[in-house]
């Protein structure tokens, strides 16, 4: 009987010591976890007993009735730890939700920045394309201006290609048959051509205004025939009454009533048409 009581006493003592050690370890672990995750919470209070008997006499009755052997005592010790563990789980859940929210906002910000970057790249590409088109148009305009300047600079570069002299009798201003034939031969090649002008200069013997009027009438007769018969535009004909001036284009001297008809052509306009 004594042996059984002693054996039971030893077993109860071992269980009580193990429970105390487990309680102390659990309290330390829980306190450390709560302190790391929630530093603003008060740590759990350490157990007040200094030894296993807590001031009781070490006997069998006190051993059986000791608080360590009581289930309610153990629950009172474990409940604060369980509450802290639940709080820790709640804080962990809240932190996880906050991290998830921050990650969601970060992803949205990254997506928005990517969209704006793509839009900016598209605008930059459009601007570069427009700038390139403008540069091409500017180059084409510059080329056209250069060609136009070259053509305008060469418009007055006319060269004589044909010359005909129409003779008139004294006091006569009407074209003869031979004069018309000569004008026909000269004007026929000019049909549907461009880049030419016809210079008509009338000369008449005499002095002063009488010679000028007579030379004007003869020149008008030639112009009238070219316009009405050969449809030469009036703006291509330049008629001048030279009066009694005797010098011809070649520097020779001639006399008598006559009209000199010169065809002047611009080679640049002719080549541009071809």
- 167 and 89 together in one domain: no
Count CA atoms closer than 13 A to 87's CA, side-chain side: 19
Of 203, 151, 188, nearest to 263 by C-alpha is: 188
- 66 and 88 together in one domain: yes
Sign of CA dihedral 58, 61, 67, 70: positive
* Inter-residue contact 66 to 56 (CB < 8 Å): yes
Is pTM, for the whole model, over 0.75? no
Structure confidence at residue 180 (pLDDT)? 92
- Domain edge (last residue) among 153, 177, 201: 153
Of 202, 200, 231, nearest to 215 by C-alpha is: 202
Q: What is the pLDDT along the chain (274 residues), one digit of tens a residue?
A: 555 555 566 566 666 555 555 555 544 544 444 444 445 556 555 555 555 555 556 666 665 566 555 667 677 777 888 888 888 888 898 999 999 899 898 999 898 898 989 889 898 999 999 998 888 988 887 787 677 666 555 555 677 777 889 998 888 888 989 999 999 998 888 888 888 889 999 999 888 888 889 899 999 999 999 999 989 899 999 998 888 776 444 444 456 889 999 998 876 655 555 4
- 178 and 130 together in one domain: no
Domain that holds residue 193: 159-273
* Inter-residue contact 256 to 205 (CB < 8 Å): yes
> For the chain, percent helix, then strand, then coil, each to nearest 5?
65, 10, 25
Of 157, 179, 161, nearest to 224 by C-alpha is: 179
- 227 and 267 together in one domain: yes
H/E stretch holding 240 reads: strand 237-241
Instruction: Provide the number of structural domains found in the chain.
Output: 2
The Cα–Cα gap between 67 and 63 comes to 9
- 53 and 168 together in one domain: no
Across the chain, which distance is largest between two alpha carbons, in Å?
183
The Cα–Cα gap between 7 and 142 comes to 117
- 141 and 170 together in one domain: no
Instruction: Please give the DSSP secondary-structure letter assigned to residue 96.
Output: H
Q: Report the SS3 class of residue 194.
A: coil
The Cα–Cα gap between 235 and 84 comes to 112
Structure confidence at residue 170 (pLDDT)? 81
CATH number of the domain enclosing 210? 3.30.1330.60
Sign of CA dihedral 56, 60, 64, 69: positive
- Domain edge (last residue) among 123, 153, 183: 153
Of 184, 179, 187, nearest to 161 by C-alpha is: 187
Please enumerate in sequence order all residues whose Cβ is within 8 A of that of 191, keeping only pairs 6 or more positions apart, or say none.
230
Structure confidence at residue 163 (pLDDT)? 86
Structure confidence at residue 31 (pLDDT)? 47
- Domain edge (last residue) among 126, 153, 180: 153
The Cα–Cα gap between 218 and 258 comes to 8
């Amino acid at each position: 009987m004594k042996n059984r009581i002693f054996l039971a006493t030893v077993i109860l003592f071992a269980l009580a010591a193990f429970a105390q050690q487990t309680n102390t370890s659990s309290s330390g672990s829980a306190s450390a976890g709560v302190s790391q995750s929630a530093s603003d919470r008060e740590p759990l209070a350490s157990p007040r007993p200094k030894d296993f008997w807590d001031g009781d006499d070490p006997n069998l009755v006190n051993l059986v009735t000791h608080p360590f052997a009581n289930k309610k005592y153990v629950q009172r010790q474990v409940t604060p730890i369980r509450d802290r563990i639940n709080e820790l789980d709640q804080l962990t859940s809240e932190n996880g939700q906050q991290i998830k929210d921050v990650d969601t906002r970060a992803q949205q910000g990254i997506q928005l920045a990517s969209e704006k970057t793509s839009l900016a790249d598209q605008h930059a590409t459009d601007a570069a394309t427009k700038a390139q088109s403008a540069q091409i148009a500017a180059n084409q305009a510059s080329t056209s201006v250069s060609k136009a300047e070259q053509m305008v600079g060469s418009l007055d570069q006319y060269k004589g290609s044909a010359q005909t002299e129409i003779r008139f009798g004294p006091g006569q201003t009407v074209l003869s048959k031979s004069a018309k034939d000569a004008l026909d031969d000269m004007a026929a090649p000019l049909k549907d051509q461009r880049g030419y002008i016809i210079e008509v200069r009338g000369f008449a013997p005499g002095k002063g205004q009488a010679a000028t009027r007579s030379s004007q009438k003869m020149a008008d007769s030639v112009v009238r025939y070219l316009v009405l018969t050969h449809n030469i535009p009036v703006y291509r004909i330049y008629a001048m009454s030279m009066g009694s001036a005797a010098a011809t284009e070649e520097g020779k001297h001639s006399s008598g009533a006559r009209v000199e008809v010169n065809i002047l052509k611009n080679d640049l306009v002719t080549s541009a048409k071809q």
